Amino acid sequence: MQLIQYPAQQQWAALQQRAAAQQAQDVEQRVQQIFEAVRQRGDAALLEYAQRFDGADLASGLRVSPEELAAAVTQVPSELQTAIRQAHANIWKFHATQREEEKQVETMPGVSCWRRAVPVQRVGLYIPGGTAPLFSTLLMLGVPARLAGCPEVVLCTPPQPDGSVNPVILFTAHLLGIDTIIKAGGAQAIAALSGGTESVPGVDKIFGPGNRYVTAAKQLATRYGVAIDMPAGPSEVLVIADESANPVFVAADLLSQAEHGPDSQVILLSDSLTVLEQTQAEVQRQLAALPRAAVATQALTESRAILLRTPEEMLYFSNQYAPEHLILAVRNPEELAEGVTSAGSVFLGHLTPEAAGDYASGTNHTLPTNGYARNYSGVSLDSFFKKITFQRITAEGLLHVGPVVEIMAEAEGLQAHARAVTLRLDAIHSASSTPTASARPAAHS
Q: Is residue 329 in a domain?
A: yes
Range of the domain at 135: 24-232+382-387
Query: What is the distance between the alpha carbons of residues 132 and 264, in angstroms, rounded to a whole number?
Result: 14
Are 227 and 249 in a shared domain? Answer: no
Strand order of the β-sheet with 227-228 is 180-183, 152-157, 122-126, 205-207, 227-228
Are 215 and 259 members of one domain? no
pLDDT tens digits for 65-93?
Answer: 999 999 998 999 999 999 999 999 999 99
379 CB neighbour count, 10 Å cutoff: 26
Known binding residue 365? Answer is: no
Number of domains in the chain: 3
445 belongs to a structural domain: no
Q: State how far the Cα of 189 lies from the Cα of 378, in Å rounded to an integer.
A: 22
Does residue 371 form part of some domain?
no
Answer yes or no: is 400 within a domain: yes
Catalytic residue (one of 95, 325, 354, 365): 325
Give pLDDT, residue 210.
85
Task: Verify that 334 and 215 share a domain, yes or no.
Answer: no
Catalytic residue among 324, 350, 365, 429: 324
pLDDT digits (tens, 9 = 90+) for 103-144: 999 999 999 999 999 999 999 999 998 667 899 999 999 999
Same domain, 168 and 276: no
**Does 126 appear as a known binding residue?**
yes
Do 252 and 278 lie in one domain? The reply is yes
In which region does residue 325 sit, left (phi positive, over 0), alpha (psi from -120 to 50) or beta (all else)?
A: beta
Report d(CA 353, CA 255) in Å as an integer: 11
Question: What pTM did the predictor assign?
Answer: 0.92
Q: Percentage of the chain with pLDDT > 70?
A: 96
Q: What is the dihedral of CA 300, 301, 303, 304, to 10 degrees?
A: 120
- Round to whole Å and give the CA distance between 207 and 368: 12
CB atoms within 10 A of CB 290: 15
Does residue 444 carry a catalytic annotation? no
Is 215 contained in some domain? yes
Q: Is residue 211 annotated as involved in ligand binding?
A: yes
Q: Is 350 a catalytic residue?
A: no
Q: Cα separation of 306 and 267, whole Å?
A: 8
At 36-55, the pLDDT tens digits run 999 999 999 999 999 999 99
Residue 303, in any domain of the structure: yes
Q: What is the band of 442 on the pLDDT scale with cuts at 50, 70, 90?
A: very low
pLDDT in tens, 360-403: 999 999 999 999 999 999 999 999 999 999 999 999 999 999 99
- Same-domain check for residues 101 and 148: yes
Residues 124 and 57 in one domain: yes
Same domain, yes or no: 205 and 222: yes
Q: What is the pLDDT of residue 21?
A: 45
Tell me: do 258 and 340 sit in the same domain: yes
Distances (CA, A) of 110 to 107, 116, 301, 398, 443: 8, 20, 64, 7, 18
Task: Clarify whether residues 238 and 228 are in a common domain.
Answer: no
350 annotated as a binding-site residue: no
Residue 88: CATH number of its domain: 3.40.50.1980
Interatomic CA distance for residues 213 and 231, integer angstroms: 12
In a domain, 296, yes or no: yes
Is 188 assigned a ligand-binding role in the annotation?
yes
Q: What is the CATH number of the domain that holds 428?
A: 1.20.5
- 370 among annotated binding-site residues: no
Q: How far apart are CA 213 and CA 215, in angstroms?
A: 5
Considering the domain architecture, whether residues 357 and 248 belong to the same structural domain is answered as: yes
- The verdict on 51 and 190 lying in the same domain is yes
Q: Is residue 374 part of a domain?
A: no
